[in-house]
Structure 1
C-alpha cells in the first residue's frame, strides 16, 4: 500500500490524513509544532458557515481597503510597504473579480458538501469539540449592506444553501441579548459551530490509535520529488510514495521546492476568547452564532463558559504579532452589542490565513505525479476541510492506485494559480 506524507497537522492536514487512511493508505503527518492545530487552526471564529461563502473579489472590497488604509482599527488593514509577493497577489485578486459569482456559488456548494464528512469524522472518532447546531445569524445596520445580503442569498441558493430573511424583531427573537440598531438579518439554520482546535487534536489522537503516524515537532526543511519517490529532509531524510501539502502559509515555499506555484498570501486574522467566569456573563452572552457583516466580525459560543469573537484581515506579510489596536475593536464590539458580558478575562490570538487570490482552495495534483495539494482555504478552512480532504484523497487514490476510479462528483478543483 502506498505510504503518503502529509505536510501540516492543522485542520486540513488532519482531515486529509483521515480521508487517506479511510482509503487504506499508510499515512505519516509532519508538523513543526509539538501538537496538532497550534497555528491557524488554534482559535478561529468557530463557525462552520456555508452562509459565509461569499468570496472577497469585488471592487467594493478594493475601495474599502483603500479607504481603510489609514484607519488602524478598520476591518481590513493593508501595510502600504511594497513587496513583489503582495503586489502580484493583489493583481491576481483583481483579475479574479469576474469570477466572483461562480466562485461564491462553488464555495457554497463545497461548504454544504463538507457537512456530511465532518459529521462522519466526529461520529467515528467520538471527539468532543463543543459542537452546537444552533445556526448562524447575520445581522445588518444599513440598507445598502442588507440589499447586498439579499443578492448574496441568491448566489448561496445556487450553491445549495437556503437562508431566511428576518425582520428586526425576528433578529432579536433569535438572539434576545443582542443590542444595537438592527435593520434586519438572515438566518441559516443548517450552519453550526465548534472548537476547531479541540476537533483537530481529538481527531489526530484518534488517528494515532488507528495507525496513522504523527511526527510532531519535526520541521521539514526540504522536499523534492522524482519519478520514484518523494524525499523529505529535516531531522533525518525520509522517502514516501507521495505527498499532500497542507501546510497553510508555508505551502507556497514547499510548492516552489516541488516545482509548483501556489500563490498563497498570509492574511492575518484576530480573535478574542471571552471567558464567561460568572453566571451573569453566561446568561448575557449570545446562544446563537453571529456574523456582523459591516464590522466583518463573527462569534461562536463554545460551551457554557467561552465566547469567541473573531474578525479583521491584515495584509502584513508573515507577521504573527498580536497588535493591541487590532484586538481592541473586538473587545469594544462585545461591550457594545453585549454590554452585560464582562470583558475582564479576555484572551487575544492572531493567526495567518492561507489565502489564494481567487479565494478558492488549491486542491488536487501538482506537476509531479506524486505531489498533491490541499491548502489555501483562507477564512473557510474549518468549513471546507472535510470536503476538500475527500476530494484530494480521491485524486491521490486515482493517481497512486491505477485500478481505482474516482467517482464523477469527486474531482479536483480547477482553480486559478
Structure 2
C-alpha cells in the first residue's frame, strides 16, 4: 500500500518509520527543508509518560483567573477575535470536571507508557542516539497545597502501574545535586524513574535518515495546499509540486491539521498553544541538571541534553502567531536561576513553537468514519515527543489492519461526535 504522510515532525516521521517497517511504500511531504523544523525543533526534551495529564481539570478555571492577575503567569491569553479559540476553550471547560479528568488522564497514560516502550524497542533495534538519558524525571513542588494535589495524581499513577515515589528536599538533591542550593525553596518532589529525556529534533532527523534507507521518500520544501475528496473518500493531495496520490493519507500536521480538513467539513478540535524554550551551554557542572525536572510553580521543564540545558514552558493562546515575546522569557529564566543557575543565559537561544492541543488532552489517532483512506495522528499537545513512537506504531497497525497492542478505539476523531 502507498501511504502519503503529511508532515515531517516527530509524529510524521515515526509514523513513516513504522509504516515502512511493515512493508508499505511511504511518501512524506513537508514545507520545510528538513525534518523536525517546527514544533519538534526545540521542545522541552522530556519523554515523560508519568507526567501525562490533561490541562482540563476541576481547578483549571479558577487557576486561569489567578494567572491572569499575575505578571509571572505560566499561561497567557492574547486578546483577539478568534472563534476557533473560543470554541476550543468552551470544550476545554466542559472537560474541567473530575470524571472527564480521570478518563482523559487514563487515555493519555495508556498512550504515553506504550510509546515509551516502543521507543525503548526502537532504540535497541536501531542503536539510535539523540543526547538521550534514561534517568527519570522529578516534579518539584514549592507549597504544601501543591504536594496535596500531587497525591491525587499519584493515585492515578498507582492504578496504571506507573512507578513513582515522593521525595523530601534532601532526597531530591541526591538525585539532582545541582538543586542542593535551592532545597529551601522546595517542599517535595514526585520522582518518576521510568521517564526519559532526549533531543527530539536530533532523534527525528536521525530516524528520518534510517527511514529513507528503508525506502521512504521525503518531499521537502513542498507546500501542502488541499485534499481532493469525493463524498466518501480522499482522492489525492494538491501540493506546490503537483497532485500526489496514494492508497491512504495521514494528517500529521500538528496545529495546522484543522486548516487542512476544514474545507472537507471536518471539525478537528485542535488549537495551537504557543510554547517557548531557551537552550544554553552548561558552564558549571555542579549546578546543572543531570536529568530533567519540572518546576510546578512556573510550569517550566529544565532538561539536560548532552552539554546543553533546555528550559521549556509557558502556554500562550495567540492563534498561529510565532513571534518571540520578550515577556515570556522572564519566567523561564527565573525558574532556572532560582533552582540551578549552572548555565550561561547570555548565550541562550530563544525559540517558540505551536503545540497542537485537543480540549481533552488526548491525541487524535485513527481514521474517520466520514472519509475513507483518511487517517489522523495529531493533537498531542506538550506530549508529542513523549507519545510519538507509540502513536506512530498504533496508526501503522491500524492502517495495516493489524490488532493494536493497546486499546485504541477511543482515540479517533469520532469521539468528538459523541
Normalising by the smaller structure, the TM-score range is over 0.9
Residue 82 of structure 1, CA deviation: 3.4
Report Cα offsets for 1:177-228 as digits up to 9, x if no partner.
1114111111111111000000000000111111000001111111123467
Change over 3 Å in CA distance of 1:185–1:210 after alignment to 2: same
Match of 2:164 in 1: 163
- CA 1:370–1:135 in structure 2 vs 1: closer, same or farther (change >3 Å)? same
Alpha-carbon distance between aligned partners in 2 of 1:214 and 1:114, rounded to the nearest angstrom: 24
Q: Which runs of 5+ in 2 are unaligned?
A: none
What does residue 243 of structure 2 align with? Answer: 237
C-alpha contact 2:30 2:221 (8 A) present in aligned 1:
yes
Q: Which residue in 2 is equivalent to 1:330?
A: 332
Q: What does residue 362 of structure 2 align with?
A: 360
When the two structures are superposed, what TM-score results if normalisation uses the length of structure 1?
A: 0.93
1:402 aligns with none
For residues 312 and 33 of structure 1, the distance between their equivalents in structure 2, rounded to whole angstroms, comes to 25
Cα distance in 1, alignment partners of residues 71 and 7 from structure 2: 32
Q: Which residue of 1 aligns with 2:410?
A: 413
1:348 match: 350
When the two chains are superposed, the root-mean-square deviation of aligned CA atoms in Å is 1.7
Q: Which moved more, 1:209-218 or 1:176-185?
A: 176-185
Shift of 1:393: 1.3
Of the three residues 255, 263, 268, the one matched with 1:257 is 263
CA contact (8 A) 2:4 2:27 kept: yes
Q: Structure 1: 5+ residue runs without aligned partners?
A: 399-404
Find the counterpart in structure 2 of residue 297 from structure 1.
300
CA distance in 2, matches of 1:406, 1:340: 48
Please give the per-residue CA displacement for 1:89-127, whole angstroms capped at 9, x wherever unaligned. Answer: 011111122410111122112211111211232333332
How much does 1:390 deviate? Answer: 1.5
Tell me the matched-pair count. Answer: 406
8 A Cα contact 1:6 1:30, kept in partner: yes
What is the DSSP-based 3-state SS (H/G/I as helix, E as strand, rest coil) of the residue aligned with 2:79?
A: coil
Measure, in 2, the Cα distance between the counterparts of 1:382 and 1:408.
20
SS in 2 for 1:39: coil
User: Secondary structure at 2:314's aligned position in 1?
Assistant: strand
Q: CA deviation at 1:84?
A: 0.9
Relative to 1, partners in 2 of residues 1:88 and 1:21: Cα closer, same or farther, differing over 3 Å?
same
SS at match of 1:139: strand
Q: Runs (4+) of structure 1 moved beyond 6 Å? A: none
Indicate the residue corresponding to 1:75 in structure 2: 74
Q: 1:206 to 1:54 in 2, by over 3 A?
A: same
C-alpha contact 1:137 1:187 (8 A) present in aligned 2: yes
- TM-score (norm: length of structure 2): 0.93
